[in-house]
Amino acid sequence: MNLFMLKPYSLMFYLTLFLGIFISLTSNNWFTIWMGLEINMYSFIPLLLQSNKNQEKEAAIKYFIIQALASGLLLTASLLLYSSVSTLLITLSLMMKLALAPCHFWFPSVMNSLPWNMCWLLTTLQKISPLFLFSQIMFDFNALLLTFISALSALTGAIGGLKQTQLRAILAYSSIGHLGWLAAATATSFCTLNLYLSSYIFMISTIMFLANMNRMKTATPLIFPNSKHLLSLSLLSLGGLPPLFGFFPKLILLFSLIQMNLILLPFILVMSSTINLYYYLKIVFFSSLQAPSMNTFFALNKSSTTILFPFIFSVSTIMGLFLVMMFL
């Protein structure tokens, strides 16, 4: 994925973007954390404005307004004494930055207007700082509040993606759904949270790399890429279909939640993941109906495809089993 555009200032803004993440994760007071988040935001917006397309400029403005509002709430909370009001403001601010439901309204429209390389940054690196700060807030968590946030995000991501035809919008709602799982992981342990986040970044990076390589826009069979087998496996893995790689982090998280006597939340998470799998399977089914003549690569390399597909499936399963042996 071509992250570094041919602009003289791109490298500088990528470096300051990482610097903002580092400052936020290593600071010990909320004011310095706010500074790190601001450095990160003001580094990301120029990267969004590199294109001359109006829709990408509009997405950058939407992103700036929401992030500025969230930063204002965080700064206000950091200036207050520790109280229930300041904790509420910080939680609301981080939910807006993460696009956790019900503060998710800006995320699908922004992501649907961005190129694939910026979508990757928005769904991966830009989530790291707010997510780990959210986990610190939820360390002494209220089980009812955490269940509500996690369940609402997971259901919003599942139901919102049902009527989408643009692949970016589908992955945006998928990201909201996975944020529900990540919010639930904050109730367990840092190790489980780190495992699930790393697994999600790995899977979404594969999908967006393939989408960027094939210049995909919609999820219809007429514009499906040549590498449809690998993309199909990646989508099913992202949905948590056993025995693929994405199933095992979810299994570990579900075991951890059940051990904490949180029974309702795992049930809602599993139901939402089933809905996610439904529209992933729709994409895979449509791609299987594609005529062989439209897929020249696999038409010319049938023997290599026959070997490659089970190989990728086996590697994905073995990696997942390895994770289970390590963390259970």
Interval 104-145: pLDDT, tens: 889 999 998 888 889 999 999 999 999 998 888 876 557 788
- Whole-number pLDDT of residue 17: 92
Label residue 315 by pLDDT band (50, 70, 90).
low
- Whole-number pLDDT of residue 311: 46
Residue 201 pLDDT exceeds 60: yes
Contact present, 304 and 312 (Cβ < 8 Å) = no
- Whole-number pLDDT of residue 127: 92
Q: Is residue 4 part of a domain?
A: no
Q: Is residue 2 part of a domain?
A: no
Q: Is residue 77 part of a domain?
A: yes
Q: Is residue 296 part of a domain?
A: yes
In the chain, the amino acid numbered 218 is T
- Whole-number pLDDT of residue 10: 79
Q: Is residue 127 part of a domain?
A: yes
Is the preceding omega at residue 249 within 30 degrees of 0, hence cis?
A: no
Instruction: For residues 86 and 88, give the distance between their C-alpha atoms in angstroms, rounded to a whole number.
Output: 5
Q: pTM here?
A: 0.84
Q: Is residue 21 part of a domain?
A: yes
Write out the residue range of the structural domain in which residue 260 sits.
10-327
Q: Is residue 289 part of a domain?
A: yes
Contact present, 61 and 49 (Cβ < 8 Å) = no
Instruction: For residues 104 and 254, give the distance between their C-alpha atoms in angstroms, rounded to a whole number.
Output: 24
* Position with higher pLDDT, 256 vs 319: 256
Mean pLDDT of 262-273: 90
The tally of domains found in the chain comes to: 1
Cα dihedral 167, 172, 177, 181 sign: positive
Q: Is residue 24 part of a domain?
A: yes
- For 40-74, b/e burial (b = at least 16 CB within 10 A) is bbebbebbbebbeeeebeebbebbbebbebbbebb
Which residue stretches of the chain are H helix? 10-26, 30-48, 54-79, 84-98, 107-111, 116-123, 125-137, 143-160, 167-185, 190-213, 228-239, 247-259, 264-288, 296-300, 302-327
